[in-house]
Structure 1
Amino acid sequence: MDTERHPSRRHIVAILSRGDAAARRDTTAQNSRFVRVFEALAAAGIEARPVIYDETFADAVRDQLLGVDGVLVWVDPIHQGKTREALDPLLRDVAAQGPWVSAHPDVILKMGVKEVLYRTRHLGWGADTHRYDTAASFRAEFPSRLRVNGPRVLKQNRGNGGQGVWKVEALSNADAMVRVLHAQRGSMPEEMPLDALIARCEPYFGWGGCIIDQAFQPRLPDGMIRCYMSGAKVAGFGQQRIKALIPPPPEGPDSPEAQPGPRIMHGPDAPQLQALRRSMEDEWTPQMMETLGIAETSLPVIWDADFLYGPRDAAGADTYVLCEINASSCFAIPEEAPAAIARTVKLRLSLTEKAGFDG
């Protein structure tokens, strides 16, 4: 690059999150929950600005985003009844006009939805997984699969916080009756006709386009491992004893005994997780990119893959089963992750700038 013709300049990125008018007025880099990310970006020579989004002032947000070099997005698929239905077209429009957006909505639709479990079921992280594209196929195929294969987990294609995720078991002493447990915190097991459950889930086709059906993993009580990624590299891990899809204790779903354990964060070099790191970096992430048609430069600057423990292998070692990928709003993150995000952002911005000059 000709540095005399193209002198280096300070890049500007927006950190976009959801909030109301008061949050839009009052949020700063210092009081934001992303303060560590702001600090890491500043240390890398990148100016970051908080931008608060809501549908009621979307036009003003769009104008702000068109004035930066890149946009880092932390907005859940569903939050207090609001979705990304209006935000995603806005981000596509902004990206089409120049600023680089991570995660781009089109990338989220490939990897940050439950359908990724079906499309990558052949990878080493895969399990017995099926997809229902229509309410008719769901109604026709799911009952026999449940009877033959044992407990299943149904997942709406887009969601977070356990919304639209159900463990389903057939009751052996009652024809066409099932026991279900919603993954959302505070849920209690219910017994109902299978037809009633199917009717309850059918609206998911309107929002997410499909329903994913996975085999229930018996080692769920052993916990979950969250593998945090920045681009194609592991940025850290989180280990947690989860309670979702586990019946609450006698004390009830709101009791201390029913709450998930703390998430124990680790850096990318945690010795006990190096086998998983090697699988993610050397095999599963490259294979996922090839399967889904995602370039490495389009991978989100921060995303995570949530793993449950699968059956132990012949040598007694753990195996891992992917239960979801979070690409829309991955937070909280390990203490090593902000620096990894800053490195990835700096690289992406330099590549974008070079492509602009070369073009």
Structure 2
Amino acid sequence: MSTKRSDSIKIALLWPRDVPKWHAATPQEYRLHRVFEALAALGIEGVPALYADDAVDQVRAQLLACDGVLVWVDPLFTGRNRKQLDALLRDVAVQGVWVSAHPDVILKMGAKEVLYRTRDLGWGSDTHLYRTNAVFREEFPRRLQEATPRVVKQNRGNGGQGVWKVELISAAARVAPTVRVLEASRGSLPEDLPLDEFMTRCEAYFADDGCIIDQPFQPRLPDGMIRCYMGADKVIGFGHQLIKALIPPPPEGPNSEAATPGPRIMHPASAPEFQALKNLIESDWTPQMMRALDVDAGSLPVIWDADFLYGPRDASGRDTYMLCEINVSSVFPFPEQAAPEIARLARDRSLTSRRTLDR
């Protein structure tokens, strides 16, 4: 059982020690300084917790002295994964520390498999799941011929790693199929290669119980991506960005200014242009997702986001929306007005967890 006991609430904010963009000399310069300020406004002590695999014991002691922990660590960071961190978070959660997002919830919501498990929701598309390399090799070539291009995604990753646009460019009889592939990571170039060679490249995605998700490419990708920021089951803001991932680079090259994604323009939850999407995700899609994934309201992360691409317009000319991915592990940046809601939810969840322990 945790050794913490006091009338005040203490919440750790955990981020990776060895990722330069998170470094800061003073609390005012922390990337999460607005969350610290929002916690303080509620009388909550926010504690920085800098995680590294070689500091597990120290971080464990720090977290056990807190009521809760808010976590910002990508699935892949500095060449490592979250195995040790997730084990630590599960351990402290068992001992009474409230954790958001809990690793078990991340596996349900934040991995790409959610795209398959929720494919029948209104945000879904023609999505397929391959759990083994043998099934991938048997089924993917046929789907590529039926509907090209496709987007192949490894189950866990960030920054566009392991996300590929795949387009069949040659399938003549008695000739090995050739595909044009483009990875979503920044600076990638299109590459033409045999389909078999590409599938061999994907074998690594099945390691450690991994899988591959396969979706249709959305032609309206150049219209941008809408990031819907959620505080538990309510929208707390939007971000719209003209992205360049999976779009062939301009003649100037993949690292040119012309290939640079546009800025993410933040909008409040009340933004008129996104009210149709807001109503859908709050009233329909999030409750359906929770049932499909067996996630209760109290386990929803206090900050997560759902990325949507524009789908084909309906018969009335209205936009539809296709889910691209859900981000749970490290949602940043987020709209300015999200910080107070993060703090409020963290306070309420920590108090609920404390009352449960005191019974």
TM-score range, shorter chain: over 0.9
State how far apart, in whole Å, the 1-side matches of 2:265 and 2:10 are: 33
Distance 2:54 2:44 in 1: 29
| Residue matched to 2:240 | 239
Look up the match of 1:277: 278
Q: What amino acid is aligned across from residue 114 of structure 1 in structure 2?
A: K
1:296 CA displacement: 0.7
Change (3 A) 1:26 1:168: closer
Match of 1:158 among 156, 161, 164: 156
How far off its partner does 1:356 sit? 2.7
2:24 touches 2:30 (CA, 8 Å); kept in 1? no
* Contact 1:170–1:178 (8 Å) recurs in 2: yes
**1:28 CA drift (Å):** 4.8
Q: Deviation per CA, 1:336-357: give whole Å up to 9, x if none.
A: 1101101111221222223233
After TM superposition, the structure 1 stretch with the greater mean CA deviation from structure 2, 25-34 or 259-268, is: 25-34
Q: Name the SS of the counterpart of 2:254 in structure 1.
A: coil
Check whether the contact 1:304–1:326 (CA below 8 A) recurs between aligned residues: yes
1:183 corresponding residue in structure 2: 184
Q: CA deviation at 1:209?
A: 1.4
Unaligned runs of 5+ in 2: none
Maintained 8 Å contact 2:96/2:357: no
Aligned to 1:142: 140
Q: Alignment RMSD, CA only?
A: 1.8
Given residue 177 of structure 1, which amino acid in structure 2 is its aligned partner? T
**TM-score for both structures, normalised by structure 1:** 0.95
Q: Is the 8 A contact 1:177 1:194 kept in 2?
A: yes
Query: Which residue of structure 2 aligns with residue 170 of structure 1?
Result: 168
The answer for the alignment partner of 1:326 in structure 2 is 327
Q: Does 1:129 align with 2:143?
A: no
Does the Cα contact within 8 Å between 1:14 and 1:48 map onto a contact in 2? Answer: yes
Residue 192 of structure 1, CA deviation: 0.2
Please say if residues 166 and 180 of structure 1, whose CA atoms lie closer than 8 Å, have aligned partners that are also in contact. Answer: yes
Are residues 209 and 19 of structure 1, via their aligned partners in 2, closer, same or farther at CA, if it must alter by over 3 Å?
same
Aligned twin of 2:252: 251
State the one-letter code of the partner of 2:211.
Answer: C
- Deviation at residue 25 of structure 1 after TM alignment: 10
Three-state SS of the structure 1 residue aligned to 2:334 is coil
Map of 1:193 onto structure 2: 194
Provide closer, same or farther for how the CA distance between residues 203 and 226 of structure 1 changes in structure 2, counting only shifts above 3 A: same
For 2:305, the equivalent position in structure 1 comes to 304
Q: Secondary structure at the match of 2:27?
A: coil
CA distance in 2, matches of 1:23, 1:215: 34
CA distance in 1, matches of 2:19, 2:251: 43
Percent identity between matched residues is: 62
Answer yes or no: is the 8 Å Cα contact 2:96–2:353 preserved in 1.
no
Compared with structure 1, are the counterparts of its residues 79 and 326 closer, same or farther at alpha carbon in structure 2 (3 Å cutoff)? same
TM-fit CA distance, 1:9: 2.1
CA contact (8 A) 1:154 1:213 kept: yes
Paired position in structure 1 for 2:55: 57
Residues in 2 aligned to 1:25 and 1:330: alpha-carbon distance in whole angstroms:
17
Distance in 2, Cα, partners of 1:37 & 1:341: 7
Deviations 1:147-179 (A, max 9, x none): 111110000000000000000000046641000
Q: 2:135 & 2:23 partners in 1: Cα distance?
A: 48
The counterpart of 1:66, out of the listed 64, 67, 75, is 64
The aligned amino acid for 2:156 is: R
Tell me how far apart the structure 1 counterparts of residues 211 and 75 of structure 2 sit (CA, whole Å).
Answer: 15
Change (3 A) 1:242 1:20: closer
8 Å Cα contact 1:24/1:52 also seen in 2: no
Asked whether the equivalents of residues 27 and 50 of structure 1 are also in contact (C-alpha less than 8 Å), the reply is no
- Structure 1 residue 134, shift from structure 2 partner: 0.2
Using the size of structure 2 for normalisation, the TM-score is: 0.95
Q: Secondary structure at the match of 2:350?
A: helix
Are 1:268 and 2:266 counterparts? no
Unpaired runs of 5+ residues, structure 1, are 1-6
| AA at the equivalent of 1:115 | E
Report deviation, 1:19. 1.1
Match of 2:92 in 1: 94
Match of 1:211 in 2: 212
Moved more, 191-200 or 26-35: 26-35
Q: Tell me: CA distance 1:97–1:128, structure 2 relative to 1, closer, same or farther (3 Å).
A: same
Structure 1 consecutive aligned stretches of length 4 or more whose deviation exceeds 4 Å: 21-28
C-alpha distance in structure 1 between counterparts of 2:108 and 2:207, whole Å: 18
Please say if 1:316 is aligned against 2:317.
yes
Note the C-alpha offset of 1:208.
5.5
Q: What is the Cα deviation at residue 85 of structure 1?
A: 1.4
How many residue pairs were aligned?
A: 352
2:230 aligned residue: 229
2:11–2:46 contact (8 Å) kept in structure 1: yes
Question: 1:263-282: per-residue Cα shift (whole Å, max 9, x none)?
Answer: 00001110110111111111
Asked if structure 2 preserves the Cα contact closer than 8 Å seen for 1:156 and 1:208, the reply is no
Tell me if 1:47 matches 2:48: no
